[in-house]
Amino acid sequence: MLSGTSPESCDTFVAMSPATLRGDVVFGKNSDRPADEVQEVLYIPAQNHTSGELLSCTYIDIPQASRTHAVVLSKPAWMWGAEMGANEFGVCIGNEAVWTREKLESKEALLGMDMLRLALERAESADQALEVLTSLLAKYGQGGLCVEGPDEYLIYHNSFLVVDRRRSWVLETAGAFWAAELVTEGVRNISNCLSVGTSVHREHPQLRAHARERGWWDGKSPFHFAQIYSEYGGTCPRLHAGAQLLKKHSGTGVFHAQEMMSILRDKESGICMEGGHCTTGSMVSVLNPQGAALHFLTATPNPCRSIFKPFAFTENVVPLLKTVATPMKTAALTEDKRPDRRHALYRSQECAFAGTSPAKLLQGLQELEKRGLKMLDMMASSSQSDPAGSCSLSELFSNFVEEEMNVHQTVH
């Protein structure tokens, strides 16, 4: 795949008060990647680190922070960074590939996915995450191949939707330059094109001067970031389709997790993507203003064939063994000599849908997902630290993974 093309992939959404039930913040993303790429879900606890420690990201090493926060990540198994995730403080981030007028760098630097993970590990709020992201961009730059394989060549710039319980930031980059839009109410989405217009609340200090130097802006007309810095002048159909779906589902002020999942499963718009470039993982997070949060992740391709399984940050989270890819050193090789990184849940889904009628299988999976969604009501009404009752929060995601695999095997 050439870096000069712009594959249509990935969509990230947020809904906030007054559009949402109980004033919750609802975050969602589909990660659209090469169809043969495995996406894993893993939990990393908070950790303290020694002074002078180096951190190996996908391509480069950088100094490690003195402390990193607990995170849950949905990530391509071959890279260090993540496509989407959340941390223990209720910060959620999703990123998008964008193509701009600035030069694409094949030189190894930080991937946008690396920056996303670093921001989750180091920030306690959306404001702090914005600072981390822009600081990393200034210090290390963005660059390097964004897909695995000797015959693949895809490089892009990045946009981010950064969310917490109070506010959201849309951060869009063009090489070293960036613009950020603050969102405090209603709905917003991003896709594979620049979308920040004249509502620029923070920006790179040389953003406008650089545009004037390049002849992209006359310095007099309104500064519209997307129009000035976009490589392609055409429309972005999926950005528009996503906005229309958000509007459709949020009009009554009761938008919640189910509505976000419905959007992520929408095939007509292309948001649920199939084919050679497809939806390889999906995530929905619900952040209650009073502090409770639940995160739902699929860990498998195609949300129409997967279920969103609940995860909660708590002490002693059980390792997510069934959704973590096989380590490279022990993985078998695929036909193109890449490690076979399919994790247990991925293999289970693959086998189940290869050998049975989808309708019967989907019915069982939908019933399981409904049980997970009921926890949102329990979370809202319960004063207990463990609204799951007999199902400990520390085992919550792992137990749902086991039950999903049981549905696969029973119906198969």
Residues annotated as part of the active site: 10
Q: Are 369 and 308 in contact (CB under 8 A)?
A: yes
d(CA 183, CA 15): 10
Q: Are 341 and 38 in contact (CB under 8 A)?
A: yes
Q: Are 101 and 216 in contact (CB under 8 A)?
A: yes
d(CA 347, CA 345): 5
Q: Are 96 and 190 in contact (CB under 8 A)?
A: yes
Q: Which of 67, 70, 60, 163 is nearest to 115 (CA)?
A: 60
For 111-218, strand residue ranges (E) read: 157-163, 168-174, 177-183, 187-190, 202-203
Ordered DSSP codes for 346-403: HHHHHHHHHSS-HHHHHHHHHHHHHHHHHHHHHHHH--SS-TTTTS-GGGHHHHHHHH
C-alpha of 57 from chain center: 18
Q: Residue 346: how many CB atoms within 10 A of its CB?
A: 21
d(CA 362, CA 385): 32
Q: Looking at residue 254, what DSSP letter applies? A: -
